[in-house]
Chain A
């Protein structure tokens, strides 16, 4: 365990930036999102949840795949460069870290997505414990300990008032720590243990911390799919993409072409299964009603994904959808509606 005085954090950020990219929560126009560090950036480590998750840093909302140019009927395909520079994502919360783990199972499974894989190879994750988890948080339901973010995190850190405590977890984390070692001093774990206890006390009292996932999972297909409850649940849905775009685990994407005037740029961008044109493809549309689309989103997170991934859910309980849905719909209400029905 190491520590660094918080007033020295800008020196730490500067040092990282000397040789690597650095993404961390930055406040701009009143909202905090992950962004690239700059000397004048308004770094915000106190806001509990960034509006968008840290997903962008590994799976950007929009990224070019290749460019196609045609000359004399001859087509040339020029692939986009893969990530080559090392970078650090600083301040990811436990839920967002597990979110990346969920994405890993999609993008790193065969056939491996090389764009994503390159970013994962070059990225080091520095996680930050949540001192005061909020009403809409329920990460504990998915086995996440926001007081002690681990999983695929390379370093775990704790905001202890005047100091940031720093604990490398993986080899990558050790390497980063060694690079920054001049800035750290040794620390013992006692203070951090106290903080963890106080965080756990808060978690226990939060309204969603006892949410039950009983009945969900890969085996629940028919019963859940055919339930009449969906007809009731989807109705207020405005078919916007807020829930999917703020979600750390939503990974569905669209592949689109942009005519640049001297070629066609093939890019992929986040898409939302809530959008009416989501499943509109050259051969037809798979899901034509909003009920089907609404059902798809939750079935994917709570049934289909677990069926394909050893029972792991593709929700991490970050609660962003709970906070942001314009119609106050969210995954918690879906889970509760089914539990109520079961009783």
Chain B
């Protein structure tokens, strides 16, 4: 972490960048927050550890409108989002100085609490320099420990790999934390009967409180004004006026980010009701892979995208009904 701070200070002081986008130390060991740093001395509050899960790419949309370059720290999976935003001309490459930071899997405090660990005062073992295999947790009930992998965000179990897809320089080691089959969850739902599927999604989506956290955190949701915020249509409903409402919101959103979603998993990370929203997006990814060949949004900033380029080999829409 000190290496990151030192480098950030250098880049600020030599005028390469005007500000730094990273994470600021929280008031608890597990709640750092995304933050802009404008001067070298404020960087003393900079932190980077296992709890820095937030994908900073989305903040680069805003940062691209500011004067001067922004130094941004991106984890391997965050670089996919940045590339995709670059492809959509929503961020400015010339306004970004990207340091690819190492990642050994990001942590979810709720996963730690779910193991019955309560009254947490301190957590050790989540630093970048740590081996990241065991967390030692100091609680008001005494010391507890927990396997690092058991405390990871769900998305890290299907890690896309430790390679940064875009960067100006790299600092720190990464680890491929994949230990689960990426499409297993989607296949499980595909194996359900239509009634079971409907029931599954009805149960999950009826928890939705329309807080828009999934949309607002999503790097693919970069519209200047969302149709669900427009008062020109009947779509700006802030509450579910009928039982279809919340399904409509999530289904339309999933369609809108199809082919652009990099599977960064932020939607599921932030959902206060624990709705596995990434499953929608991952279903689209799986279908796109099957219909158009393997494709990973954001792997590159240039090149054709399967849903926005036409070829005569493209599947016909009837594939959906034919496939059943």
Contacts and interface: CB of A to CB of B under 8 A. Distances in A.
Interface of A: 28-31, 33, 51-52, 61-62, 132, 134-135, 202, 205-207, 235-236, 238-242, 244-246, 254, 256, 258-259, 265, 267, 269-272, 275-277, 280, 322, 324, 326-329, 332-333, 336
A238 B213 contact: yes
A202 B26 contact: no
Instruction: Kindly list the 9 A-B residue pairs having the minimum CB-CB distance in the complex, ordered from nearest.
Output: A269-B239, A62-B239, A326-B270, A240-B213, A328-B31, A238-B216, A205-B140, A236-B34, A241-B211
Size bracket, chain B contacts = 35 or more
A259 B213 contact: no
A30 B240 CA distance: 21
B27 interface: yes
Contact of A242 (B206, B211, B229, B234): B211
B254 to A, nearest CB: 18
B185 interface: no
Given A51-B273, A329-B33, A132 B237 contact: no
Interface string B3-28: 00000000000000000000000111
Given A245-B209, A326-B269, A135 B216 contact: no
Contact of B272 (A236, A246, A254): A246
Contacts of A324: 272
B211 A245 contact: yes
A64 to B, nearest CB: 9
Contacts of A135: 28, 118-120
Interface of B: 26-28, 31-36, 54, 59, 113, 118-121, 140, 203-204, 206-207, 209-213, 215-217, 229, 231, 234, 236-241, 266, 269-270, 272-275
B171 to A, nearest CB: 22
Contact of B119 (A30, A134, A333): A134
Given A246-B272, A326-B269, A327-B54, A258 B35 contact: no
B120 A259 contact: no
B240 A336 contact: no
Nearest to B26: A328
Given A29-B274, A52-B209, 4 more contacts: A31-B274, A241-B212, A275-B238, A327-B33
A275 B215 CA distance: 12
Nearest to B121: A207
Contact of B27 (A240, A275, A332): A332
Given A135-B120, A277-B231, A267 B241 contact: yes
Contact of B238 (A33, A51, A269): A269
B209 A61 contact: yes
A327 B34 contact: yes
Given A134-B118, A328-B31, A31 B207 contact: yes
Contacts of B241: 62, 258, 265, 267
Contact of B239 (A33, A205, A239, A270): A270
A275 B225 CA distance: 12
Nearest to B213: A240
B222 to A, nearest CB: 13
A207 B236 CA distance: 40
Given A28-B207, A269-B238, A202 B35 contact: no
A201 to B, nearest CB: 9
A256 B245 CA distance: 15
Nearest to A330: B31
A327 to B, nearest CB: 5
B207 A29 contact: yes
B27 A333 contact: yes
Contacts of B212: 240-241, 275
A277 B229 contact: yes
A339 to B, nearest CB: 11
Contacts of A246: 209, 211, 272
Nearest to B240: A62
Contacts of A275: 212, 229, 238
Contact of B118 (A132, A259, A277): A132
A203 to B, nearest CB: 10
A240 B217 contact: yes
Contacts of A62: 239-241
B96 to A, nearest CB: 17
A324 B35 CA distance: 18
Contacts of B217: 238, 240, 326
A205 B121 CA distance: 9
B270 A242 contact: yes
A249 to B, nearest CB: 16
Contacts of A254: 238
Nearest to B269: A326
B119 A205 contact: yes
A240 B238 CA distance: 12
A206 B121 CA distance: 8
B115 to A, nearest CB: 14
A265 to B, nearest CB: 8
Instruction: Tell me which of A236, A258, A328 has the highest count of chain B C-beta atoms within 10 A of its own C-beta.
Output: A328
A240 B32 CA distance: 18
A328 B121 CA distance: 17
Contacts of A241: 209-213
B119 A206 contact: yes
Contacts of B203: 28-29
Nearest to A204: B140
Contacts of B272: 51, 242, 245-246, 324
Instruction: Tell me which of A29, A244, A254, A280 has the highest count of chain B C-beta atoms within 10 A of its own C-beta.
Output: A29
A191 B227 CA distance: 57
B120 A61 contact: no
Contacts of B234: 258-259
